[in-house]
């Protein structure tokens, strides 16, 4: 998030009344992610706001926004019902008021992204401050948990569509939810930079429901590339992801077979788009 940030569209009603105002956490091409709270200030939540795009035809814009919000919510609700670890949907407004776009509120997820955890870990090792024995083992265990989470998601017929280390969260170790949340969006420094905690998959904006091995293999391929490019030291650990993935559900072996094909040719089979 460096450089001059483009002006952010103001939040639509009802969030114009919200006090304190939601804090912007991150911004993508389609949506803005805020930290705010649900019905009471003691119930933190994430607010994903999809502003309308002024350059789009208004009717098309409305339909796209509506479709994307509902599709993401649908996938999250399905995952949550089936026991895949994802943030639950608390409320949404896919209609907007015609001018301001739509939004969705999700459960707040404690912890850090796997990317943050691995980058911080690599930095500490570089600085030679790595006196923690068990970092390697910790990473391996983490990889296993990722493999299991992704396997579970694929088992219920959901593909993520953008499975990177930034879209996998690692919760704090003993995870009583609700506690210690900073509603102002500050990143809390955790005591003891642990690798424990529960894996939560986030950002289902590009997700869909698919039973095709190809789509699942592409998920794994994208994740593998994400590890390869940002965490070269953890690249070999990716084998552990695949190992646990393979054991996690019945169709996994076929998907791994398919992954070999995808590696050979890249993720776009159809050569479209």
Partner 1 sequence: MAALQTLHLAHLPPDLAVHVALYTDVRNASFLRDQLLQGNPDFEYALVDASVILSTTHALAAVFRAANDHLKGRLKSRNVHSEIVFSLGANNNIAQSLRTFGITPTTTNLLAIKLSTDPSITSSTISEHLSASIQGIQVEFNDAKLAGLNNIAKIRKLYKLGGVGEEGSKGKRRRKDGTVESSGLVDGTAAKDAERERRELEVAILGLMALRGAV
Rounded Cα gap, residues 142 and 199, in angstroms: 8
The footprint of partner 1 on residues 44-73 (CB under 8 A) is 70, 73
The footprint of partner 1 on residues 132-161 (CB under 8 A) is 148, 152
Catalytic, out of 162, 203, 213, 219:
162
Q: Rule CB under 8 A: say whether 97 interacts with partner 1.
A: yes
Q: Rule CB under 8 A: say whether 20 interacts with partner 1.
A: no
SS3 126: helix
SS3 6: coil
Q: Rule CB under 8 A: say whether 175 interacts with partner 1.
A: no
Parallel, antiparallel or unpaired: strands 44-50 and 32-37: antiparallel
Rounded Cα gap, residues 90 and 105, in angstroms: 5
Backbone angles phi, psi at 92, to 5 degrees: -155, 160
Tokens 């098309």 belong to 60
Q: Rule CB under 8 A: say whether 261 interacts with partner 1.
A: no
The nearer residue to partner 1, 82 or 233, going by C-beta atoms, is 82
The footprint of partner 1 on residues 98-127 (CB under 8 A) is 104, 107
Q: Cβ distance 45 to 90 under 8 Å?
A: yes
Q: Rule CB under 8 A: say whether 39 interacts with partner 1.
A: yes
Q: Rule CB under 8 A: say whether 183 interacts with partner 1.
A: no
The nearer residue to partner 1, 40 or 270, going by C-beta atoms, is 40
The footprint of partner 1 on residues 76-95 (CB under 8 A) is 76-78, 80-83, 88-95
Q: Is 130 a catalytic residue?
A: no
Q: How many CB atoms lie within 10 A of CB 52?
A: 20
Catalytic residue set: 162
């Amino acid at each position: 998030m460096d450089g001059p940030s483009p002006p952010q569209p103001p939040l639509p009603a009802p969030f114009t009344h919200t006090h304190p105002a939601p804090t912007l956490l991150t911004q993508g091409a389609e949506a803005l992610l805020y930290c705010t709270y649900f019905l009471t200030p003691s119930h933190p939540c994430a607010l994903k706001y999809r502003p309308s795009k002024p350059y789009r035809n208004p009717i098309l814009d409305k339909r796209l926004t509506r479709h994307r919000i509902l599709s993401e919510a649908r996938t999250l609700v399905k995952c949550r019902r089936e026991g895949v670890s994802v943030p639950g949907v608390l409320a949404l407004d896919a209609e907007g008021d015609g001018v301001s776009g739509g939004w969705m509120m999700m459960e707040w997820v404690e912890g850090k992204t796997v990317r943050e955890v691995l980058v911080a870990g690599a930095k500490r090792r570089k600085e030679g401050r790595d006196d923690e024995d068990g970092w390697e083992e910790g990473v391996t265990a983490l990889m296993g948990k990722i493999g299991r989470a992704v396997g579970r998601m694929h088992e219920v017929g959901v593909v993520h569509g953008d499975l990177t280390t930034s879209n996998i969260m690692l919760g704090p170790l003993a995870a009583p939810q609700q506690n210690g949340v900073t509603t102002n969006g500050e990143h809390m420094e955790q005591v003891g930079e642990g690798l424990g905690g529960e894996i939560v998959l986030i950002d289902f904006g590009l997700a869909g429901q698919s039973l095709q091995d190809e789509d699942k293999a592409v998920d794994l391929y994208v994740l593998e590339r994400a590890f390869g490019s940002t965490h070269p030291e953890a690249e070999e650990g990716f084998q552990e992801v695949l190992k646990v993935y393979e054991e996690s559900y019945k169709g996994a072996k076929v998907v791994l077979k398919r992954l070999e094909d995808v590696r050979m040719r890249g993720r776009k089979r159809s050569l479209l788009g």
